[in-house]
């Protein structure tokens, strides 16, 4: 697809967004939508300007972003080597499979009461929610990515005299990294749902706290602004993640 075609598609996307916002604003101004339940885009912008002015919007956004990134990075640092190890060993996979199967279906919300008992309302408790909510699914992505490597390539490398470390470095890692990165991008979105769930229950700052606080005071514009900020922040992180992926995996650019 040419760059001109890409530019045209961007204009189409922007046009559809502007039409949607214009229709939303029109229906609110004409009284077809009750502002208490669905404020207009200009009301949300006014709330954003006010919260940017007093610094609270930036404070809430940075708090949630920090919690997500710390919990997600720690989870990934543990899951990547452990997942590759389990994906390469049928014996150890059989040993740990029952525990992974028990952890995998548990939603992040189910960890909140236990984490509050263990850690209280602290930053560590927020990090632990993101960790527990994203660890098991990330591990499964990495195990499957490792298993997807063609066994013929592994046997060929061993027949040529490669050691286990050489096979891991030259065959398994380059072959599985694209799928691992794709899985981690999916898990990054899930990590956001984890932290928002945690902040809705027990937090004093963050976008989840901001949404819940807006709901308590019937400030629907604050609620919607918090939701919009979650989407914008995830989009920005996704763009940065793609740049990192292109730099880490140059052979996938084509």
Domain ranges of the chain: 38-248
User: What CA–CA distance (Å, rounded) separates 223 from 214?
Assistant: 5
Q: Which residues contact 74 (CB under 8 A, 6 or more apart)?
A: 127, 131
- Average per-residue pLDDT in the chain? 86
Report CA Rg, the chain.
23
For 51-110, write each residue's pLDDT tens digit. Answer: 999 999 999 999 999 999 999 999 999 999 999 889 888 899 899 988 888 888 888 788
Residue matched to tokens 């694209």: 178
Q: pLDDT-derived band of residue 253, with 50, 70 and 90 as boundaries?
A: low
Superfamily of domain 38-248, CATH level 4 = MetI-like (1.10.3720.10)
The pLDDT of residue 171: 84
Q: Which of 60-64, 157-161, 233-237 has the lowest mean pLDDT?
A: 157-161
User: What CA–CA distance (Å, rounded) separates 12 from 24?
Assistant: 18
The pLDDT of residue 4: 66
Q: Which residues contact 228 (CB under 8 A, 6 or more apart)?
A: 44
CA count, 13 A, side-chain hemisphere, 3: 0
Q: Where are the alpha helices (DSSP H) in 104-219?
A: 108-119, 123-147, 151-159, 164-167, 173-201, 207-216
Sign of dihedral through CA atoms 130, 133, 137, 142? positive
For 97-147, write each residue's pLDDT tens digit. Answer: 888 888 888 887 888 888 888 888 888 988 998 998 888 888 998 998 888
The pLDDT of residue 245: 78
């Amino acid at each position: 697809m040419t760059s001109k075609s890409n530019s045209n598609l961007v204009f189409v996307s922007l046009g559809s967004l502007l039409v949607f916002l214009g229709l939303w604003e029109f229906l609110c101004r004409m009284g077809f939508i009750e502002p208490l339940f669905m404020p207009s885009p200009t009301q949300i912008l006014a709330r954003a300007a006010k919260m940017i002015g007093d610094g609270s919007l930036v404070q809430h956004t940075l708090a949630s972003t920090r919690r997500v990134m710390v919990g997600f990075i720690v989870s990934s640092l543990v899951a990547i080597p452990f997942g590759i190890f389990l994906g390469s060993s049928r014996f150890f996979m059989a040993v740990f499979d029952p525990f992974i199967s028990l952890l995998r279906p548990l939603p992040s919300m189910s960890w909140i009461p236990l984490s509050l008992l263990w850690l209280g309302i602290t930053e560590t408790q927020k990090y632990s929610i993101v960790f527990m909510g994203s660890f098991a699914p990330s591990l499964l992505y990495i195990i499957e990515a490792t298993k997807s490597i063609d066994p013929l390539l592994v046997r060929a490398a061993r027949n040529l005299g490669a050691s286990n470390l050489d096979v891991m470095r030259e065959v398994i890692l380059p072959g599985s990294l694209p799928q691992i990165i794709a899985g981690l991008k999916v898990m990054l979105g899930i990590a956001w749902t984890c932290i928002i769930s945690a902040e809705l229950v027990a937090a004093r700052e963050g976008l989840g706290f901001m949404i819940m606080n807006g709901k308590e005071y019937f400030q629907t514009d604050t609620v919607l602004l918090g939701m919009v900020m979650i989407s914008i922040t995830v989009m920005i992180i996704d763009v940065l993640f793609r740049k990192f992926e292109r730099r880490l995996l140059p052979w996938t650019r084509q």
